[in-house]
Structure 1
Amino acid sequence: MFDTRLVPLTRTPLKRLAIYLDRWNVKADQITLIGFMIGMLAVPALALNWYSVALVAIALNRFFDGLDGALARIQGISDAGGYLDIVLDFIFYSAVCLGFLLADLDRNGGWAGLLMLSFMGSGATFLAFSAVSGKYSIDNPDYPQKSLYYMGGLAEGSETILFLILFCLFPQYFPILAGVFAVLCWVTTGSRLWSGYLTLKHLERQHNHNQDSNKSGK
């Protein structure tokens, strides 16, 4: 929901650091993998109730996630790099839920499971539409620098980062926070599913109509 407003604010400082890394021949995919490995350290930290350590790991993961994109825009957007980035992002998000489940199974278990399911819904609608929409070369003016088509919603990257931080700052309220974020994710899933379905149906009809017109014109 806030990505289109917040992302431009971080672009300039990330670009400056990316230029420096590019001079040292650091690759965007390397930054992606390093950020992922750092982020996964949040799981054992959360299991041990080391919430400050987990918060640092999560913050660094999100920082590296922005940095690899800035570096990719300098070195050239890569479909393989975009694929690697988004897959590791969703694994990381679910891993954080697992960490809170391990931190307190009795209190957090059900809510962590619900949040994992919510991530599955928002992630599946996002990735499935991106995969199918490639057939129709749909423009994406809000995120022209992305290798995948980005569908908007209430729960995007900025909101996810916010709630991951809140989980660590107020772990005693994880069930409430997870429930609120799950609702946002399901609203996002529903809106993406509905708008994606209607968009693809329209594009299919348009595509079939153009094909019939071309056949009749021969």
Structure 2
Amino acid sequence: MMDVQLRRVLSKPLNALAAAVDVSWITPDRLTMVGLMAGLGSAVLAATQCWTLALITWILSRVLDGLDGTLARRRAAASTPRAANASQAGGFLDIVADFAVYGATVLGLAIGATAAFSAPWWPFLLVMFSYYLNGAAFLAFSSIAERTGRTSSDADNRSLFFLGRIAEGGETVLVHSLWLLLPFFAWQIALVWSVVVFVSAIQRMIVGYRLLR
């Protein structure tokens, strides 16, 4: 819901960061992999109840997640066909890394919160199921829209066509950060968040179906 506004706000600092790290040995794919390691590290830290370090590594992973695409687009501005293909491969790697990080951080938080605060498991399972539905909806739409040439008004210059709804990347970063800031309320936050993501998934399914008819 707030991703468009966030991209506008963050575009200048991300472009400045991309310019600063635009050297030959730093590639978008390497940034993606470092971001993936940071995200998985955040999950491990949450599972061991190191909440502050988990929050720091989570935010680092999300900064790198924004930076890899910014650097790729910067280099694609003067690209060759080979560079363009590399950018598409990087987009694939990026979305796989995002799914891995989101799933791992929910699992890590669930382990840490149940151990430290006797939180129930089922709200975290609901979040995982809602992520599964949400991911299935926008990935299926992206694949079919690519073949048929159909997009929505939410289409942008990213590697995949996204159907923007109430739960997007910005909201996910915020909620995962709240989990790590307030781990003693983790299962309550998870319960509310799962409802929001379920609603978003239903919205995406309805809009995607209508656009593809």
Which runs of 4 or more aligned residues in structure 1 lie more than 6 Å from their structure 2 counterparts after TM superposition?
Answer: none
Aligned to 2:80: none
Kindly tell me the number of residue pairs found equivalent between the two proteins.
Answer: 201
- CA distance in 2 between partners of 1:37 and 1:88 (Å): 9
Q: Does structure 1 residue 173 correspond to structure 2 residue 185? A: yes
Q: Is the 8 A contact 1:55 1:165 kept in 2?
A: yes
Q: Is the 8 A contact 1:100 1:108 kept in 2?
A: no
Aligned to 1:191: 203
Aligned to 2:56: 56
* Shift of residue 69, structure 1, vs aligned partner: 1.1
* Shift of residue 14, structure 1, vs aligned partner: 0.8
Task: Give the partner amino acid of 1:84.
Answer: L
* Shift of residue 168, structure 1, vs aligned partner: 0.5
Q: Is the 8 A contact 2:167 2:196 kept in 1?
A: yes
What's the TM-score once normalised by structure 2's chain length?
Answer: 0.90
- CA distance in 2 between partners of 1:103 and 1:137 (Å): 44
> Structure 1 60/18 Cα, relative in aligned 2: closer, same or farther at 3 Å?
same
* Shift of residue 25, structure 1, vs aligned partner: 4.1
Task: Give the partner amino acid of 1:113.
Answer: L
- CA distance in 1 between partners of 2:183 and 2:205 (Å): 32
* Shift of residue 144, structure 1, vs aligned partner: 2.4
1:60-84: CA deviation from partner (whole Å, max 9, x where unpaired): 0100001001101111262111111
Residues 1-218 of structure 1: pairs in structure 2 closer than 5 A: 1-76=1-76, 78-105=87-114, 106-139=118-151, 142-201=154-213
Task: Give the partner amino acid of 1:31.
Answer: L
What's the TM-score once normalised by structure 1's chain length?
Answer: 0.88
1:111-159: CA deviation from partner (whole Å, max 9, x where unpaired): 1111111111111101111011101223455452201101111100010
- CA distance in 2 between partners of 1:177 and 1:102 (Å): 15
> Structure 1 166/99 Cα, relative in aligned 2: closer, same or farther at 3 Å?
same
> Structure 1 104/9 Cα, relative in aligned 2: closer, same or farther at 3 Å?
closer
Q: Flag the structure with larger Rg.
A: 1
- CA distance in 2 between partners of 1:21 and 1:141 (Å): 32
Q: Percent identity?
A: 35
Q: Is the 8 A contact 2:155 2:163 kept in 1?
A: no
* Shift of residue 104, structure 1, vs aligned partner: 3.5
* Shift of residue 20, structure 1, vs aligned partner: 2.1
Aligned to 2:79: none
Task: Give the partner amino acid of 1:115.
Answer: V
Task: Give the partner amino acid of 1:103.
Answer: G
Q: Which runs of 5+ in 1 are unaligned?
A: 202-218
Q: Which runs of 5+ in 2 are unaligned?
A: 77-83
What is the DSSP-based 3-state SS (H/G/I as helix, E as strand, rest coil) of the residue aligned with 1:49?
Answer: coil
* Shift of residue 198, structure 1, vs aligned partner: 1.4
* Shift of residue 58, structure 1, vs aligned partner: 0.6
